[in-house]
Amino acid sequence: MADTLAALRGSRGGDKLVGIRHQLQHERDAEWLRRPDVVRGLQEVARANLVYDLLVGTRELPAAIEVVQEVSEARFVVEHLAKPPRSSGDLSAWASALRRLARSDNVVAKLSGVATLAEWNRWNAGGLQPAVDVALAAFGADRLMFGSDWPVCLLSASYEQVVEAAHKLTASLSETERGRVFGENARRVYGLRE
């Protein structure tokens, strides 16, 4: 893994590499993240000073909870708030697991995919508010960041609609807190320069 990361960093544009991701929710094994070879890879990602983006849903959250504790030297970003279940409307299992994940200080959640997590072309910010409220309570304004999910968001909304929805969903925050969510946290976690 170290050789692969070095090759990525050494390739054209590699100086802009800030994180690694894998679509875990497409793995058949909900425990894939806990495999010894994957854990070793996550340790290499941490040694390379890169962030690992967790693309998980409720099914993979238990493994994620264990791994973020085991690889505590790594920085993790939970994409799409770990895809709260929208079809059933029952957020209880997801919320409980997300709260447990948030107990690890090396994890930040990304408020992304707000338009594509819901039913395409029939979504509104209000329908997503319960899930966002859980994430806000669990991670707070210091460990939550906005992500547009562009260009995937274009399947159900414009970029402007996504940004507007995210602002509505975080209306309970102060201006200073929103500054963190909509920029400062991403710069800090990913080590971005303006």
Q: Is residue 140 part of a domain?
A: yes
Picking from 24, 98, 91, the residue whose alpha carbon sits closest to that of residue 56 is 24
CATH of the domain at 59: 3.20.20.140
- How confident is residue 119, by pLDDT bands cut at 50, 70 and 90? low
How far is Cα 170 from Cα 15, in angstroms, rounded to an integer?
A: 33
How far is Cα 128 from Cα 42, in angstroms, rounded to an integer?
A: 31
How far is Cα 182 from Cα 45, in angstroms, rounded to an integer?
A: 25
Q: In this predicted model, what pLDDT tens digit does every residue of 92-111 receive, in sequence order?
A: 999 999 999 999 999 999 99
- The total of structural domains in the chain comes to 1
pLDDT at residue 2 greater than cutoff 80: no
Q: Is residue 10 part of a domain?
A: no
Q: In this predicted model, what pLDDT tens digit does every residue of 36-79 receive, in sequence order?
A: 999 999 999 999 999 999 999 999 999 999 999 999 999 999 99
Q: Is residue 94 part of a domain?
A: yes
DSSP run (H or E) holding 8: helix 2-10
How far is Cα 21 from Cα 9, in angstroms, rounded to an integer?
A: 15
Dihedral of alpha carbons 67, 151, 162, 128, sign: negative
